[in-house]
Structure 1
């Protein structure tokens, strides 16, 4: 029976993939992987931790229904002096309002993309991570941009099962990237590579690219600029654009011998 290697393993752990510089166990495949950019220096892959379109679709009818039903039930309760029902519905409306507030904030603050850059020339990984609290819409939800050595990155496949309202079982799988303290299996940071697919071929593709370069892999399907939206992408228009800090943006897209950005002295 397989046991987790990392301390601690990711939630829903099912399998550890090969080390970043070790031979891959499966053939690399770009079928389940898209790229924002791909050349001999770096590969950028897109991510989305939040389905803003789905949340917006849920928020609008939920908000309208809550207002209409809440107003009718409150009026009826007051008319019949049914204060117990009034208290119950008030608590329920407060909970739903709280949830809707979280949904709307997610729609407004989740970035249009959360890309990861795998810089082969520098052997480093750069991640544009959005962090949020699912139960508190009133605390900061920052963008955390991190950079780690490729050799310290590990990949784990996770699998989670949930029961829907109809009683059916919904299975989700994905790949988590875990960063370990150098020379140990102790995890110091984690962020997702894929929240949709858990196939090892995705990790094998990235490893092959980082180990052997662009000639060793087939081109991954290319995305358009994530800040340029189609006319029907209404939810994403509410979201902030992806904006890397200038120094990190330059470093993550260039080779080590590239001259750093020059600071401009203001008069």
Structure 2
């Protein structure tokens, strides 16, 4: 079912359309050959799907040192200018140099942490017997790139009936401009369309719609309703990441023991 106006208050940025609700019929049939990854795990109790907030990793870890070098370049340039002119540089130049140094340090640390701090996977588990959804979710704060508490993984638990999926598309800051498509999940106040919070679900609308359809089929009918995947599940914690420094440095997925047990069991 497709809606021409947003159902939620407020709709996600770049809202394109709402996907069917958790207990409605899926809008699309999952087709394994076009999906990036098979389920991490599936049985009669729970379905775990892979998820990643950041789509491409391994560039920032090499870009960050270059940006940090610029933070040294600004004061070095001012010192060289002062030696050449044999006088202190103008106050305005000092301010520009200070601003450039602070900006370069902030940006370099932010780029580095965004590449190496997210875990290797940010899985989401759908427990059909508890009717709960468990999200292994990476949080970060660009305004506090040095903070430990503002960066890291939190496991969050939601009621399946309170989830809503939205297809979104926005133009991103690419070289010649580019359309970024995603599917996000919103958590609503029970019995309303009022959004409490949102989080990323999948890149590309077609894939996100299929993964959401898989979650619907599993929660409504069970594992027998899911398609067969030609490839085995991917072992995110033990895969070969030799040529991707960012993924080598990234933390492995470690669910808290209590949440891990609860999300995989019926009671």
TM-score bracket, normalised by the shorter chain, equals 0.7 to 0.9
Shift, 1:108, TM fit: 4.5
Of residues 181, 204, 217, the one that matches 1:197 is 204
Match of 1:32 in 2: 35
For structure 1, the 5+ residue unaligned runs are 257-267
Of the three residues 138, 144, 163, the one matched with 2:146 is: 138
8 Å contact from structure 2 (residues 75, 97) kept in 1: no
Say whether 1:149 aligns with 2:152. no
Could you say which residue in structure 2 is the equivalent of 1:209? 218
Aligned to 1:59: 64
| Match in the other structure for 2:251 | 240
Q: Report if the CA contact (8 A) 1:77-1:85 is conserved.
A: no
Q: Residue 112 of structure 1 is aligned with which of 120, 141, 145?
A: 120
Q: Equivalents in 1 of 2:173, 2:156: separation in Å? A: 34
Taking the aligned partners of 2:228 and 2:47, their CA distance within structure 1 comes to 10
For structure 2, list consecutive stretches of 5 or more residues without a partner in the other structure: none
- Tell me whether 207-216 or 93-102 shows the greater mean CA deviation: 207-216
**Partner Cα distance (1:72, 1:148) in 2:** 52
TM-score (norm 2): 0.85
Q: Which residue of 2 aligns with 1:88?
A: 96
Say which is worse superposed, 2-11 or 197-206, in terms of deviation.
Answer: 197-206
- Counterpart residue number, 2:16: 14
Match 2:227 to one of 211, 218, 225: 218
**In structure 1, which of residues 78, 81, 92 is the aligned counterpart of residue 82 of structure 2?**
78
Aligned to 1:185: 193
CA contact (8 A) 1:157 1:176 kept: yes
Given the alignment of the two structures, is residue 254 of structure 1 paired with residue 259 of structure 2, yes or no? no
The 10-residue stretch of structure 1 (73-82 or 242-251) with the greater mean CA deviation from structure 2:
73-82
Alpha-carbon distance, 1:43 to partner: 1.6
Q: How far apart in 2 are the matches of 1:96 and 1:172?
A: 27
SS at match of 1:125: strand
Q: How does the TM-score come out when normalised to structure 1?
A: 0.85
Deviation string, structure 1 residues 100-122 (Cα, Å, up to 9, x no partner)? 12223334532221110112232
Given that residues 129 and 143 in structure 1 are in contact (C-alpha distance below 8 angstroms), is that contact kept between their aligned partners in structure 2? yes
Name the CA distance, whole Å, in 1 between partners of 2:232 and 2:182.
21
Contact 2:134 2:158 in 1 (8 A): yes
Deviation at 1:138, TM superposition (A): 3.3
CA distance in 1 between counterparts of 2:4 and 2:137 reads 30
Matched residues, number: 252
Tell me the C-alpha RMSD between the 2 structures. Answer: 2.2
* Structure 2 residue 142 is matched with structure 1 residue 97: no
Secondary structure in structure 2 of the residue aligned to 1:122: coil
- Per-residue CA deviations over 1:156-191 (Å, capped at 9, x if unaligned) read 011111343x4x111101111111121111122221
